[in-house]
Structure 1
Amino acid sequence: MVDSGCGEPEVSDSLKAFGEVIKAFRKRARLTQEQFAPRVRYSVPTVASIEQGRRFPPADFVDRAEEVLDAFGTIRGAARHLSRRPGLASWFRQWARLEAEAVSLDTYECRLAPGLLQSEAYARAVFAQSVPPLTDEQLEAQVTARMDRQRLFRERGNVPFSFIIEEAVVTRHLGGARVTRDLLDHMLECATLRNVEIQVMPTHQEQHAGLDGSMQLLETAGNRWLGYAEGQQWGQLIADAKQVSILLQRYAKLRSQALTPRDSVGLLERLRGAL
């Protein structure tokens, strides 16, 4: 799934309001951003982005800020009302809602690293390629949304995530060698999670069941399977049982054709070492 953010990002006043809450309590505690940042174990730029409403606050940031600033539960309360949809293309929002409640998720991607596996540096490199170019505010909203979606790994530890990616996705070196190293480090870290399985489709593979393009599949809590696919300026939710069955068959075949998870990790580690 690319979810590349070609649509207009949603404006989120709730993020800006939360940032003002953090700033007010920080100043009440007579702390500068430079003094506050190490206490919550985040960088000064990250704290600044959160206070400016440009970045969704991670759960551990909220908890630490609440404790460090002695905020009487105000910060945790404000966090519960944050919008989690800034920066998502309009056609992707329905899938994102389903994704957040799914009991399993399968992704095959041939164009770029799936959004759930992207490092922040890689996500920025992706959105920097947008044509026409995004404004700084739009880019920040897109990156914020991308990073926020990765909460699924932490919040839904009992949900299995399967990813199949083309080797070319990594060897393309989008954003340069440094960004690629950062992406590989992030993907290898994700691969250590018990509910995340990453497989690489080698470039030299004579059989390939995914020639029709990238796809995403999920199983709902009611055990219904749905599919999703994206093009240049559109996204399609696939609910027809026959069509979804075809995608499931293709994904199953892809899993047998790609490298095993263990061999895939080995390949990613070798690619990381070569940079």
Structure 2
Amino acid sequence: MSSEGVDEAGWDLEPGDESAPLVEAVGRLVKFCREATGMRVADLADAMGYGEDMIRKIERGARIPRPEFLEQADELLNAGGRLKWFMEDMRRARYPKKVRELKALEDRAVELLLYSNHNIHRLLQTPEYAKALFETRQPPSSTDVVERETAGRMARKTIYHRDPAPMLGFVQEQVTLERPIGGRMVLRRQLEHMLEIAEFRNVTLQVMPTDREDHAGMQGLIEVLKFADGTGVGRSEGAFNGRPVSNLRDLRILELRYGMIRAQALTPRESLAFIERMLGEL
């Protein structure tokens, strides 16, 4: 059995993950259905194209099964849809806890103010760019962790398809558009993707040129999420010790700083022209 096939069975459960009880229950259900048909672990592993150890890890709740695994197992074990029922739950469970928490906030937000000075913002990244970014970590993350983190990041991009759509304002440092994370072709596709996202009526994308003498963003990343009830949450690397804040006074400070950054950046039209020129030079 190839390691590639084994890896495709699912994702290792993180210690302390709040999804553990559900994952363990699904694992017990897989085992129950397997034993009900008289199949051994080896029989199921062979039929599905996975290693025996991987099947055992899923059955004891140590590994989150992929939705595709549950769909295939449901048919092989004549489970009558009982395993398929949990496909969406396992799809959500695979995302790291911090990603689920961020996505819950983003799903509530009616406006997002986002300034990135080191990497292209997570909500703008392509899968290839995000994967390459995770692969730059030192010490290196495992292939499983990189895949799980990338999938979680891509899941957050459902924000673009919400109805009603939230307003999203992005300001990107010029250097983030120039650093070829993953290589020139990955960067090219990333810039093309940003131009596509910028076509949405609820999205504003601006570039902060490197040659600006006055720059209100020297204290680093800023993210402010506003909710329909008038509350919000924000954070900045250079304010409040980097901790998330939600009181109106602190949020106002971040909003004012972001507003100045946006005023100092290129206009949206100038920014898109700038990105198009970069593409022409790649």
Output the TM-score relative to the length of structure 2.
0.70
Tell me the residue number matched to 1:23. Answer: 72
Q: What does residue 157 of structure 2 align with?
A: 150
User: Measured at CA, do residues 259 and 157 of structure 1 come closer, stay the same or move farther in structure 2, by a change above 3 Å?
Assistant: farther
Per-residue CA shift, 1:243-274, capped at 9, x if unaligned? 21111001111111111111111111111111
Equivalent residues of 1:215, 1:228 under 8 A apart: yes
Aligned residues: 222
- The change in CA–CA distance for 1:273 and 1:80 in structure 2 (over 3 A counts) is same
In structure 2, C-alpha distance between the alignment counterparts of 1:104 and 1:79, rounded to whole Å? 31
Superposed CA offset, 1:94-125 (max 9, x none) = 44321121111110000000100001110011
Match of 1:239 among 225, 228, 246: 246
Partner residue of 1:37? Answer: none
Aligned-pair CA distance for 1:196 = 1.3
The residue number in structure 1 matching 2:89 is 81
Distance 1:99 1:229 in 2: 17
1:16 aligned partner, one-letter code: P
Instruction: Indicate whether 1:172 and 2:179 are aligned.
Output: yes
1:177 is displaced (CA, Å) by 0.8
For residues 113 and 163 of structure 2, the distance between their equivalents in structure 1, rounded to whole angstroms, comes to 15
% same residue? 33
C-alpha RMSD of the superposition? 2.9
Shift of 1:21: 3.4
- The answer to whether structure 1 residue 127 and structure 2 residue 134 are counterparts is yes
Tell me if the contact between 2:95 and 2:148 (Cα under 8 Å) persists in the aligned partners. yes
Query: Residues 222-247 of structure 1, C-alpha deviation per residue, up to 9 Å, x if partnerless?
Result: 1113212359xx96211232221111
1:206 to 203, 213, 216: 213
Letter in 2 for 1:84: R
Deviations 1:189-223 (A, max 9, x none): 11111111111001111211111110100111211
Match of 1:264 among 240, 254, 271: 271
Report what 2:120 is aligned to. 113
SS at 1:218's partner residue?
strand
Q: Tell me which of 260, 268, 273 is aligned to 1:253.
A: 260
8 Å CA contact 1:85–1:145 kept in 2: the answer is no
Distance verdict in 2 for CA 1:26–1:183, change over 3 Å:
farther
Q: How does 1:36-75 map to 2 (within 5 A)?
A: none
Partner of 2:203: 196
- Superposed, 1:223-234 pairs within 5 Å as 223-229=230-236
Q: Distance in 1 between matches of 2:115 and 2:144?
A: 30
Tell me, in whole angstroms, the C-alpha distance in 2 between the residues paired with 1:27 and 1:199: 52
2:109 counterpart SS class:
coil
CA shift in 2, pair 1:174/1:89, >3 Å? farther
Most deviating of 99-108 and 156-165:
156-165
Structure 1: any 5+ residue segments left out of the alignment? Answer: 1-7, 29-70
Counterpart of 1:52 in structure 2 is: none
- 1: CA distance, partners of 2:182 / 2:197: 20
Query: Which residue pairs with 2:46 in the alignment?
Result: none
Distance 1:230 1:210, change over 3 A: closer
TM-score between the two structures when normalised by the length of structure 1 = 0.71
Is residue 100 of structure 1 aligned with residue 91 of structure 2? no
The answer as to whether partners of 1:86 and 1:142 remain within 8 angstroms in 2 is no
AA partner of residue 123 (structure 1):
A
Aligned-partner residue type, residue 69 of structure 2? E
Q: Mark the CA change 1:83 to 1:163 in structure 2 (over 3 Å): closer, same or farther.
A: same
Find the counterpart in structure 2 of residue 64 from structure 1. Answer: none
Structure 2 Cα separation of the partners of residues 235 and 88 of structure 1 = 21
**Superposed CA offset, 1:122-145 (max 9, x none):** 001100011111111101000000
CA contact (8 A) 1:200 1:258 kept: yes
For structure 2, the 5+ residue unaligned runs are 1-13, 27-63
For residue 230 of structure 2, give the secondary structure of its aligned residue in structure 1.
coil
SS at structure 1 position matched to 2:170: strand
Query: For residues 195 and 148 of structure 1, what CA distance do their matches in structure 2 show?
Result: 19
